[in-house]
Amino acid sequence: MKYVLAVLVENKPGVLARVAGLFSRRGFNIESLAVGRTLDRSLSRMTLEVDADEKTLEQVVKQLNKLINVLKISNLTLEPSVNRELVLIKVRADAVNRSEIQQIAETFRAKIVDVSLQSLIIEVTGNEEKIEAITLLLAHYGILEVARTGKIALLRGSKTTKNGGI
Amino acid sequence: MRLTGARMVLEALRLEKADLVFGYPGGAVLPLYDQLYDAQVRHIMSRHEQGAIHAADGYSRASGRPGIVFATSGPGATNLVTGIATAYMDSVPMVIFTGQVATPMIGTDAFQEADITGITLPITKHNYLVKDVHELPRIIKEAFYIATTGRCGPVLIDLPRDIQAAEADFRYPQEVFIPGYNPTYQGHPGQIARAAKLLSRARKPVIYAGGGVVYSGAHGELLELAESTGIPVTTTLMGLSGFPGGHDLALGMLGMHGTYWANMAVNDADLLLAVGARFDDRVTGKVSRFAPGAKIIHIDIDPAEIGKNVRVDIPIVGDVRLVLSELLKKTAKADTAVWLEQITEWRRAAPLHYCQDPEGELCPQYVIEKLYEETGGAALITTEVGQHQMWTAQYYRFNHPRSFASSGGLGTMGYGFPASLGMQAARPTELVFCIAGDGSFQMNIQELATAVGYRLPVKVAIINNQYLGMVRQWQQMFYRSRYSSVELQQGPDFVKVAEAYGALGLRAQKPSEVGPALRRAIETDGPVVIDFRVRPEENVFPMVPPGSAINEMIRGESK
Ligand SMILES: Cc1ncc(C[n+]2csc(CCOP(=O)(O)OP(=O)(O)O)c2C)c(N)n1
Ligand SMILES: [Mg+2]
């Protein structure tokens, strides 16, 4: 099963290496990883997507907790949360099918952010199903390249996963 | 007070009440070693950085205080790696200072640059690369705190040369503030109550005690628990000195080379109380068939150990000593008479055995038994890794906590001899023996110079079987006796080696020579090496073959 973890870490050099190293060394799989600073500049938030069984997940969380620079881990998987990923898709497009592709983009509320004679770049934001659906459709025209940010997530409502209310 | 970074290290060591540093100098730690020149703290220079770090490890295991190591950048630092990993696997507290090239040079492949914080990431509890001398006091304070609290372990501080020379105000913090680090010491009272209830109802309970008992100082509580409930105790290699080996309730070691009756008891138990142990594969054998009928209570300070290898019915996270003392208040005598009788039957059916012909070849087990007799079980013992290590675990009865040091988790050949020097330095008035293999001893044999130079009167008992015996045993048993690269017949002559270093060298080849050689060694003031020439192809039994459950032991050749 896929789990989404929000991990609050100290914003120090080497912390990403500690987390990534832990995963590879213990044979845990990271599906996606997104890192950015929080409002408090001394902290970063990592959103990790992990494909694991329940027992492995328990180990992942416990081992992460042992890292001195890790402050807090929240499992967002089973909580109501907003999950998003931003994806840039470069798709083959010519004069004949360009408007067709534009229509698909519109339907998905995606943006065309670059146009050339042979291609378009489409920027799409959404959850996994949405991204999968548009990717499937665009594949029909020929996808040239894809770049993804990895998933980020926040709990719904006023509840937070922050550390001590920052 | 304005101090240089190097001076700060020495000041911090003084404030941490460190009395001894093990290390080896080099270009990137010249400022540190200059400070050592007239410092109060003693420094023991090894002959190889690996020797220094294992010595610091032995010092820590014997004293309970953190081991402290200095080494230079690059090769000095990388020579520590095996020792750091050894300490990490066995949860030994250490603070290690390595030199590093100057900060502007970092990342340029400068002379003697190695990314030691990167290299040691997976084998330290935490590590630091110091980039600003103002942060150094806080970092050292944190390093000591992290190394010596919770589940202990090595912490490394990488000190660039310019940081050692730079000056800043020195104020050593009284407190640490590490928001991401908060070990749990008190066990959950509800869980402890549930555990007590299970213990009182059990008919076939066994206590399985590991290194956590020794490290937390819980030997007294463990003994009281065993005696007040009547529950027998088996220990891991790491837990050997945590419960008196000669006690009626002592089952000896369990696992791959455990006693027959300990393994049978665990296999048949209805309740297993795991105390500061981590269900290592050398203990469990085939893990899916480990203690199949038992409910499991697991007490450990590291929450990540609980549920890692086996399912646990009652997890209790906390300091072993604190949890046991709470548990003691709630437990009563269990009805174990029938169970103890059953265990005695197993013990009678398959005792540890070997056969010493008084005129024949010397048996390694006999040497260990004699060593136990001659020392009255009061010596501090280290071992190297191999058959001699397992025979020590089987035949030497440890009665005092922190009287035994062996590389349990990593199985590091070359650990035992330098570790014995550290033990001796920590407890100068006590008798220290290193029980070594002829192979392992040669991995850090150069430390004989350290022993002689610093008058560390350690006695090395080489169980010389002229083989990498443990590997030979596996080749014999599982690879049709195709002995591949395990012969050590070419020597060296260990007596001459000892003499060349200025130590006393002795040899014993016959059973009748064992006692006198041991007595002579014990009476000698300085370091002694005894070359015990033992039967080359003796094997360690019982043995749980790899992949088998622990009740499926090979009990050995009957003689
Ligand atoms: C550094 C290291 N290298 C290799 C091994 C693998 N190994 C385990 S036991 C052993 C043989 C040890 O021989 P010796 O020290 O003579 O002890 P014996 O088994 O003969 O008692 C070897 C090579 C190890 N444990 N450590
Ligand atoms: Mg040998």
User: Exposed (0-12), middle (13-18) or buried (19+): which is B333, by Cβ within 10 Å?
Assistant: exposed
Q: Calculate the CA B222 to chain-centre distance.
A: 20
B202 and B311 part of one domain: yes
B198 and B335 part of one domain: yes
Q: Is residue B229 part of a domain?
A: yes
Which two tokens mark B455?
A: 């008058």
Q: Is the pLDDT of residue A77 over 50?
A: yes
pLDDT single digits (tens) A6-65: 999 999 989 999 999 999 998 888 999 999 999 999 999 999 999 999 999 999 999 999
Neighbouring C-alpha atoms within 13 Å toward the C-beta of B403: 24
Whole-model pTM? 0.96
Other Cβ atoms closer than 10 A to B344: 12
Q: How confident is the model at residue A163 (pLDDT cuts 50, 70, 90)?
A: low
Q: Where is the domain boundary, B349, B376, B408?
A: B349
The distance in angstroms from the start CA to the end CA of chain A is 31
d(CA B133, CA B127): 16
Model pLDDT, residue B556: 82
d(CA A160, CA B38): 55
pLDDT single digits (tens) B5-27: 999 999 999 999 999 999 999 99
Whether residue A63 and residue B304 make contact (CB cut-off 8 A), yes or no, is: yes
| Residue B438 beta carbon below 6 angstroms from any ligand 1 atom | yes
Which two tokens mark A124?
A: 């799409």
B80 and B48 part of one domain: yes
Contact predicate B260/B542, CB 8 Å: yes
Neighbours of ion ligand 2 (CB under 5 A): B 437-439, 465, 467, 469
Q: Each residue's pLDDT tens digit in chain B (559 positions)?
A: 899 999 999 999 999 999 999 999 999 999 999 999 999 999 999 999 999 999 999 999 999 999 999 999 999 999 999 999 999 999 999 999 999 999 999 999 999 999 999 999 999 999 999 999 999 999 999 999 999 999 999 999 999 999 999 999 999 999 999 999 999 999 999 999 999 999 999 999 999 999 999 999 999 999 999 999 999 999 999 999 999 999 999 999 999 999 999 999 999 999 999 999 999 999 999 999 999 999 999 999 999 999 999 999 999 999 999 999 999 999 999 899 999 999 999 999 999 999 889 999 999 999 999 999 999 999 999 999 999 999 999 999 999 999 999 999 999 999 999 999 999 999 999 999 999 999 999 999 999 999 999 999 999 999 999 999 999 999 999 999 999 999 999 999 999 999 999 999 999 999 999 999 999 999 999 999 999 999 999 999 999 999 999 999 999 865 4
pLDDT single digits (tens) B80-126: 999 999 999 999 999 999 999 999 999 999 999 999 999 999 999 99
Which two tokens mark B453?
A: 């130079």
Residue of A18, A66, A166 to mutate when probing chain B, most B C-beta within 10 A = A66
d(CA B493, CA B51): 22
B237 and B125 part of one domain: no
Q: How far is CA B296 from CA A76, B203, B207, B269, B337, in A?
A: 31, 14, 10, 10, 21
B150 to chain A, closest Cα gap in Å: 10
* Shortest CA distance from A9: residue in chain B: B180
d(CA B269, CA B550): 13
B343 and B421 part of one domain: no
| Residue B117 beta carbon below 6 angstroms from any ligand 1 atom | no
B59 and B94 part of one domain: yes
Contact predicate A92/A118, CB 8 Å: yes
Determine the 3-state secondary structure of B187 from DSSP: coil
Q: Is residue B402 part of a domain?
A: yes
Distance from Cα B479 to the centre of ligand 2, integer Å:
19
In sequence order, the 6+-apart residues with CB closer than 8 A to the CB of B486 are B467, B468, B469, B471, B472, B475
Domain, as residue range, for B229: 189-349
Torsion of CA B200, B206, B207, B208, to 10 degrees: -150
Other Cβ atoms closer than 10 A to B375: 17
d(CA B462, CA B493): 12
Protein residue with its CA nearest to atom 1 in ligand 1: B413
d(CA B528, CA B461): 8
B107 touches chain A (CB under 8 A): no
B150 and B118 part of one domain: yes
Q: What is the CATH number of the domain that holds B444?
A: 3.40.50.970
Model pLDDT, residue A18: 96
Model pLDDT, residue B463: 98
Whether residue B180 and residue A10 make contact (CB cut-off 8 A), yes or no, is: yes
Q: Is residue B372 part of a domain?
A: yes
Sheet strand arrangement including B233-235: B250-253, B233-235, B205-209, B271-275, B295-300, B314-317
Whether residue A21 and residue B178 make contact (CB cut-off 8 A), yes or no, is: no
Q: Is residue B505 part of a domain?
A: yes
Q: Where is the domain boundary, B137, B169, B201?
A: B169
B228 and B317 part of one domain: yes
Of A166 and B521, more confident:
B521
B394 and B520 part of one domain: yes
Q: Which of A9, A10, A59 sits opposite B308 (nearest CB)?
A: A59
Which two tokens mark B482?
A: 């195709």
Could you give the number of structural domains in chain B?
3
Q: Is residue B165 part of a domain?
A: yes
Distance from Cα B413 to the centre of ligand 1, integer Å:
6
User: What DSSP element (H or E) covers B368?
Assistant: helix B364-375
B297 and B402 part of one domain: no
d(CA B522, CA A24): 50
Q: Is residue B87 part of a domain?
A: yes
Which two tokens mark A6?
A: 């929000």
Which two tokens mark A14?
A: 């080497």
Protein residue with its CA nearest to atom 4 in ligand 1: B413
Q: Which of B180, B304, B308 sits opposite A71 (nearest CB)?
A: B180
d(CA B472, CA A26): 31
Model pLDDT, residue B559: 44
d(CA B292, CA B550): 11
User: How would DSSP label each residue in B484-529?
Assistant: -S-B-TT---HHHHHHHHTSEEEEE-SHHHHHHHHHHHHH-SS-EE
Which two tokens mark A152?
A: 């980020």
B429 to chain A, closest Cα gap in Å: 39
Q: Is residue B554 part of a domain?
A: no
B345 and B370 part of one domain: no
Q: Is residue B489 part of a domain?
A: yes
* Shortest CA distance from B183: residue in chain A: A66
| Residue B536 beta carbon below 6 angstroms from any ligand 1 atom | no
B416 and B495 part of one domain: yes
Distance from Cα B236 to the centre of ligand 1, integer Å:
19
Model pLDDT, residue A165: 40
d(CA B156, CA B70): 10
Ligand 1 atom closest to Cα of B389?
21
In sequence order, the 6+-apart residues with CB closer than 8 A to the CB of B472 are B483, B486, B537
What DSSP designation does B242 have?
G
Distance from Cα B443 to the centre of ligand 1, integer Å:
10
Whether residue A62 and residue B304 make contact (CB cut-off 8 A), yes or no, is: yes
Model pLDDT, residue A161: 76
Q: How far is CA B341 from CA A103, B34, B202, B223, B486, in A?
A: 83, 64, 15, 20, 43
Q: Which of A21, A59, A68 sits opposite B122 (nearest CB)?
A: A21
